[in-house]
Amino acid sequence: MTAPEGNPAAGGWTEPRATALLVLADGTVLEGFGLGAVGEAPGEVCFNTSMTGYQEILTDPSYAGQIITFTFPHIGNVGVNEEDTETVNAAASSGVRGCVLHAAITDPSNWRAAKPLDAWLKARNIVGICGVDTRALTALIRDKGMPNAILAHNPDGVFDVARLKRQAAELPSMAGLDLVPLVTAAQRYDWDETPWAWPTGYGKRETSDYKVVAIDYGVKRNILRLLAKAGCDVTVVPSTASAEDILALKPDGVFLSNGPGDPAATGAYAVPVIKELLDRKVPTFGICLGHQMMALAIGGQTVKMKQGHHGANHPVQDKTTGKVEIVSMNHGFSVDPASLPANAVETHVSLFDGSNSGIALTDRPAFSVQHHPEASSGPQDSHYLFDRFVALMAAEKAKQAA
């Protein structure tokens, strides 16, 4: 990474040559200094307003196909470690294509740090740029929406800008893209790790009361940990698992995970499976992409958002209790509440823009939320939703036993 340096022989300071460019689809070129992997990364540019948890954000599979602009100016100052990665699928490497920072990455200053962020980005083949006016870029996204772009890093500072502009302009929209195959598990596996706690770290589930099958559209580790903590014996299956395969595991409940891309595109093969599970009245809980596809499965529609919701400071109201929660969000599509059928009740709503943040079905044991209650990264206000899922399974088991 190149930094400004003095040139006394020339009688003053010289501007260093840009070693990275962010080239937007409309031809805008932002210059900066490269970090992380050398190369070019295409993606949709979004902004994230979180002040902490950059490692969890950079390993969230829901960011597949995207370049993250961090609005918080100091990213990387606590380094990275082996414990805060959210990607489960090692073959997926990372959800994100690239990152845009304001300040250069400093040496890590934290007892948990195992390596600097820059070295970690290189190892995971994530291209980065710093020295960018991230406030101006965020304002542009708020005004014009999330643009496609090419993020290029060349230590020599030599770029074919005309070619990069053409490539950025030709990138496909996120609308219509099924990105789940990039991040889903290749085969079924079991999960028993529970959340991190001082001083022992992560634990192991000792007993279980419920069998849960989690459909992996890009699931995060802490979601699985909280299911295990709630007393669930969790089996994770790939996104292409059939309803027959899932039902053969005799689940007490099914979890629909988060994930990237256009829910309507993934729904082409996922929605028929979800429909059958709902028709069988299997207790079902969905998060993020899982929420959107549950809505599609009951006849609702999803729409692409202008700037999306990405951050750990989003206010959401639980309409069933009246309480307001601060939650973590990461989505570029939303459920159109006007499209929902009569058997779907809106349970949560964003207090930023009024968009739908949760539904529950009146005729089947199923509910879902748009936000990320696992709080990795983010506040823990919505952890209760995992208990709500357990209560749903308990009620259904009691009904069947009666």
Q: Would you give the DSSP letter of residue 138? A: H
Among this protein's residues, is 374 annotated catalytic? yes
Q: Would you give the DSSP letter of residue 106? A: P
Q: Which of 40, 56, 86, 374 is catalytic?
A: 374
Among this protein's residues, is 74 annotated catalytic? no
The answer to whether 263 and 293 are in contact (CB under 8 A) is yes
What angle, rounded to 10 degrees, do the helices at 221-229 and 384-401 form? Answer: 50
Among this protein's residues, is 288 annotated catalytic? yes
The answer to whether 68 and 96 are in contact (CB under 8 A) is yes
Instruction: Indicate the SS3 state at residue 125.
Output: coil
CA atoms of 70 and 67, how far apart (whole Å): 10
Q: Long-range contacts made by residues 397-400, C-beta under 8 angstroms, separation at least 24?
A: 397/210, 397/252
Q: Which of 288, 309, 314, 331 is catalytic?
A: 288
Q: Which pair of structure tokens corresponds to residue 275?
A: 């429909």
In the block, residue with structure tokens 């606590």: 78
236 sits in the region (left: phi over 0; alpha: psi -120 to 50; else beta) called beta
Q: Which of 153, 314, 371, 372 is catalytic?
A: 372
Neighbours of 379 (CB within 10 A): 15
Q: CA 234: distance to chain centroid?
A: 21
Active site members: 288, 372, 374
